[in-house]
């Protein structure tokens, strides 16, 4: 196994030592450490060293021995619509545009409010924390309500300041969306767990004028961009009819391409378009379950990675997945890559795990803080049980994490060194609160008139 790297502490007293049989660091060398410990103080990782050496060098207020478990960086969900958890299963087995225009948008117009978003986002946070997700990259209405839910749950979130050209319960036009977004951004400036991006929904819902404003503000405020791109063939066809070019070409013409752009899906990309994404340093959030469920297609992940494009993993919203489960996405991404390419060596286990950790951190501009277990980074960590009899035997912990384990094997989730979930118990969320949310909104959602088939 690789040698450990650690920092000699200024003081011996620390907040927390976590010992694990395996530590998947996801650092640049992808070291997997055996019988090591992660030392945490003030929310930061201050040392990674052999377990016995850690106990000799530090006095911890709390010692957690995980036994045969694996410790890995907290998973990063690179594309979500968290509040849509309340719409889970409401409109299944439909293609994207039918699903969106005839079912989801009408329901949102009737239902969406700050309370809807806060309640739905808290439900999503609970699901994600129990599955080892410590950070999510979101795009939805009323982002301050999502921030409130994430703050209650103790999760890290990068919240998109949504921009659309049509009115909603949230805003009247693109200028109103932008202003409300900037007000939200200002409201959480002092929250260390909340960051922002500007989120023009998609090229087919945002005009040239609005996109030009988006890039201007993004540059002025040093914010990243988060959008949907090339998700379906219909999206591309509409763009060619309306603008005489494919969506990616339009974004390039308007100046939106660059290392601050995270594009969700990227299913239908031509070879030269993948070269363009690589040249500009753009990122793709791959959402395999959502793409399959909506019959959008299968993203060319192997080709994107081969060309040097950073590919992260997202679940999309629970309305189109229907799970916020990154372990499912990791496994599915690896298997799809092999099947589509007819190459069993494509997207090996370590690379698939990187898509849900360090690649996700890079995609949202937080790789200096999270995404790997390294000295100086925030202690966003996930513990996974490898010793369950139904998983035995195991020979390679990374293989097991990708191909065998599910979110049900997650035992602990820490965010900035604080334990937020442990074996079915949340630090800041009561089960009855979640039940009340579901019972309240399910009745209201069922009352929304649905179109006849």
CA distances from 443 to 81, 436, 439 (A): 21, 11, 7
Element (H, E) at 265: strand 261-265
pLDDT digits (tens, 9 = 90+) for 264-282: 999 999 999 999 999 999 9
Domains of the chain in start order, with CATH, are 75-363 (3.20.20.140)
Quote the pLDDT of residue 6. 46
* Sheet with 194-200, side-by-side order of all strands: 75-80, 133-140, 156-163, 194-200, 224-229, 261-265, 283-286, 310-313
Going by the DSSP 8-state scheme, the letter that residue 343 receives in this structure is -
**In which residue ranges of the chain is pLDDT below 70?**
1-11, 449-453
Q: What is the C-alpha to C-alpha distance for residues 61 and 15, in angstroms, rounded to an integer?
A: 5
Going by the DSSP 8-state scheme, the letter that residue 6 receives in this structure is B
Dihedral over alpha carbons 248, 249, 252, 253 (to 10 degrees): -140
Quote the pLDDT of residue 452. 52
Q: What is the C-alpha to C-alpha distance for residues 363 and 331, in angstroms, rounded to an integer?
A: 20
Quote the pLDDT of residue 451. 59
| Cβ neighbours for 94, distance < 8 A, ≥ 6 positions apart | 102, 103, 294
pLDDT digits (tens, 9 = 90+) for 89-111: 888 898 888 888 898 888 888 89
Look up the pTM and report it: 0.95
- Contact status, residue 248 vs residue 269, Cβ threshold 8 Å: yes
Element (H, E) at 366: none
Residue 339's SS3 state is: helix
Quote the pLDDT of residue 94. 86
Q: What is the C-alpha to C-alpha distance for residues 215 and 231, in angstroms, rounded to an integer?
A: 21
- Contact status, residue 198 vs residue 213, Cβ threshold 8 Å: no
Quote the pLDDT of residue 9. 46
Going by the DSSP 8-state scheme, the letter that residue 136 receives in this structure is E
Quote the pLDDT of residue 446. 87
* Burial of 5 per CB tally in 10 Å (0-12, 13-18, 19+): middle
């Amino acid at each position: 196994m690789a040698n450990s790297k650690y920092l000699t502490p200024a003081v011996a007293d620390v907040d927390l030592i976590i010992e694990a049989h395996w530590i998947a660091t996801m650092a640049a060398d992808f070291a997997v450490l055996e019988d090591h410990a992660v030392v945490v103080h003030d929310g930061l990782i201050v040392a990674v060293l052999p377990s016995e050496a850690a106990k000799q060098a530090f006095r911890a207020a709390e010692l957690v021995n995980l036994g045969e478990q694996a410790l890995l960086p907290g998973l990063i969900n690179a594309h979500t619509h968290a509040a849509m958890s309340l719409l889970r299963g409401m409109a299944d087995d439909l293609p994207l545009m039918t699903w969106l225009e005839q079912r989801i948008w009408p329901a949102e117009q009737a239902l969406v409010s700050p309370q809807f978003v806060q309640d739905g986002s808290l439900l999503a946070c609970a699901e994600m924390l129990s599955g080892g997700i410590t950070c999510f990259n979101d795009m939805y209405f009323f982002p301050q309500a999502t921030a409130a839910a994430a703050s209650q749950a103790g999760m890290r979130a990068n919240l998109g300041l949504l921009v659309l050209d049509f009115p909603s319960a949230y805003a009247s036009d693109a200028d109103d969306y932008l202003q409300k977004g900037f007000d939200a951004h200002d409201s959480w400036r002092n929250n260390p767990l909340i960051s922002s991006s500007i989120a023009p929904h998609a090229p087919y819902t945002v005009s040239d004028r609005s996109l030009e404003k988006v890039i201007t503000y993004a540059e002025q405020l040093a914010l990243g961009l988060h959008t949907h791109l090339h998700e379906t063939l219909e999206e591309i066809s509409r763009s060619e009819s309306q603008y005489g070019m494919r969506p990616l070409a339009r974004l390039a013409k308007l100046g939106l391409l660059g290392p601050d752009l995270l594009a969700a899906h990227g299913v239908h990309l031509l070879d030269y378009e993948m070269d363009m994404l690589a040249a500009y340093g753009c990122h793709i959030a791959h959402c395999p379950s959502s793409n399959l469920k909506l019959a959008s297609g299968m993203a060319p992940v192997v080709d994107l990675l081969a060309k040097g494009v950073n590919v992260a993993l997202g679940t999309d919203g629970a309305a189109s997945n229907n799970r916020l489960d990154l372990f499912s996405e990791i496994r599915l991404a690896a298997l799809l890559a092999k099947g589509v390419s007819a190459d069993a060596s494509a997207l090996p286990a370590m690379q698939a795990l990187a898509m849900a950790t360090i690649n996700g951190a890079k995609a949202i501009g937080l790789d200096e803080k999270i995404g790997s277990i390294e000295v100086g980074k925030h202690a966003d960590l996930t513990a996974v049980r490898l010793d369950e009899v139904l998983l035995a035997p195991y020979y390679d912990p990374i293989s097991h994490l990708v191909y065998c384990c599910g979110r049900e094997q997650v035992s602990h989730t820490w965010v900035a060194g604080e334990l937020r979930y442990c074996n079915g118990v949340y630090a800041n969320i009561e089960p009855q609160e979640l039940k009340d949310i579901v019972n309240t909104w399910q009745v209201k959602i069922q009352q929304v008139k649905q179109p006849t088939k």
